[in-house]
Structure 1
């Protein structure tokens, strides 16, 4: 008998979908967190973790050397890599940050819509563990440990219906929260307050205007939000249309 089979069966177990009202409430709750300035200031750090994680993952995939990640209390962050200062690897790494939260949200929506809540929670734990190994400042380490601890507690102690509600809310938050930083980025660029943003770095690397990259980020995030929202509500759409 394969000793890993029980673990795989646990991770791939399908949980019963929550009622539609809970999915809708979780979506509006996530929208409120993203739209309200005070709650956004507190929760934006979660988007930063996903943002820097996107830079780090693509850097590794493009065979750049990952030197470290820093997360700051003002919700900013930086991912340090080593390799050619130009070329496809550097471009892909720079482009990954702003779309990462939305794409992670889309992946979360896909897993959640299939009832694979446990798999999602443990995948998040695995990614956070890998990220923790590359954190290079105290605040960043505490932030990742706090998020990882919360996810572990949810996966280990919470009943299935609570796990499901939190998973839906998290997917909505990533999908919605992935859009706002892009809008904020363009506002800062227009005011001349972000000369070294990812979009401006890409402009220097590719000679394509930074505004093009901002629009590309926004297009990807908006598409992820639309399709992710569809995945999260698809099973109830026939009932609503009746």
Structure 2
């Protein structure tokens, strides 16, 4: 049985603010995340995290709009599939399709907001909780392994790592989601232009709405670039403070 004091300590650990990170940490973690996204070999591995957020966005939108969620599949080629049932047209289906490509950047923006308040531990535990919830919805072996590995790494860092390591991990991860959320939109349009993704989210949205697929790709890109810009300002708080620029 957990004591009141134990619950109090847990509450303090979860919601207490950590010290401001050194400005150099903010810069180096941003450069590290940019390198991971820009280099093809590292992107092929790290892109799994973006796929997890992408399919999680589809799943959450489906649940929030009243659709019946049948499951999520994550594949080793970094593709994914979220299956839901309900009306094949209408706002619920549109929002479910729309949520995928913008989800990684919006998750990154939420993470940047928490890090802007130096809530590193809270960020890591929220990430573990979301990954655990998604694990219950995954329907293939690779998807289960991918979530277990990702969630396990976050859990170990949140529980055992030093505050300095937690800060590096948290800032790098959030930068990665913000930057990494933009690249798939360009990849999507490149594949569409070659006729290799005729049933992409953007093309399905075009079938359901009066707007062409290219406009939906533009919407994905603008949302993600906006999230990157706002998230960068939130994450750059220590740099701005050192320069005497108030947020």
> Given the two structures, how large is their TM-score scaled by the length of structure 2?
0.95
1:193-204 matched pairs, under 5 angstroms: 193-204=196-207
Q: Deviations over 1:126-166 (max 9, x none)?
A: 11011000100000000000000000100111011110111
CA deviations on 1:27-67 (whole Å, 9 max, x unpaired) are 00000000000100111111000000000011111111110
Displacement of 1:22: 1.0
Deviation at 1:5, TM superposition (A): 4.5
> Is the 2:23–2:238 contact (alpha carbons within 8 Å) kept by the matching residues of 1?
no
Deviation track 1:77-105 (CA, whole Å, cap 9, x = no partner) reads 00000111111011000000000000000
Runs of 4+ displaced beyond 6 Å:
none
- Mean Cα displacement is larger for which, 2-11 or 109-118? 2-11
Does residue 185 of the first structure (1) align with residue 188 of the second (2)?
yes
Matched, 1:169 2:172: yes
| Residue 138 (structure 2) pairs with residue 135 (structure 1) | yes
* Aligned residues between the structures: 242
Whether 1:150 and 2:156 are equivalent positions in the alignment is: no
Could you tell me how far 1:207 is from its partner in structure 2?
A: 2.6
Per-residue deviation, 1:8: 2.7
- 1:119 maps to which of 122, 127, 137: 122
Aligned residue in 1 for 2:242: 239
Aligned pair partner of 1:16 in 12, 19, 23:
19
Q: Tell me which of 85, 89, 98 is aligned to 2:88.
A: 85
TM-score between both structures, scaled by the size of structure 1 = 0.97
Separation of aligned partners in 1, 2:176 and 2:233: 15
Please report the RMSD computed on the Cα atoms of aligned residues, expressed in angstroms: 1.4
Work out which of the residue numbers 214, 225, 228 in structure 2 matches 1:225: 228
Question: Which consecutive residues of structure 1, in runs of 5 or more, have no partner in the other structure?
Answer: none
Displacement of 1:238 in angstroms is: 4.2
1:121–1:155 Cα contact (<8 Å) kept: yes
2:79 matched to which residue of 1?
Answer: 76
In the aligned structure 2, how far is the partner of 1:7 from the partner of 1:62?
A: 34
Residues 178-225 of structure 1, C-alpha deviations (whole Å, 9 max, x = no match): 000000000011111100100001000113100000000000000000
Instruction: Give distance in 1, aligned partners of 2:46 and 2:238.
Output: 29
> In the aligned structure 2, how far is the partner of 1:119 from the partner of 1:191?
43
- Give the superposition deviation at 1:4: 5.0
* Residue 39 of structure 2 corresponds to residue 25 of structure 1: no
- Aligned pair 1:101/2:104, yes or no? yes
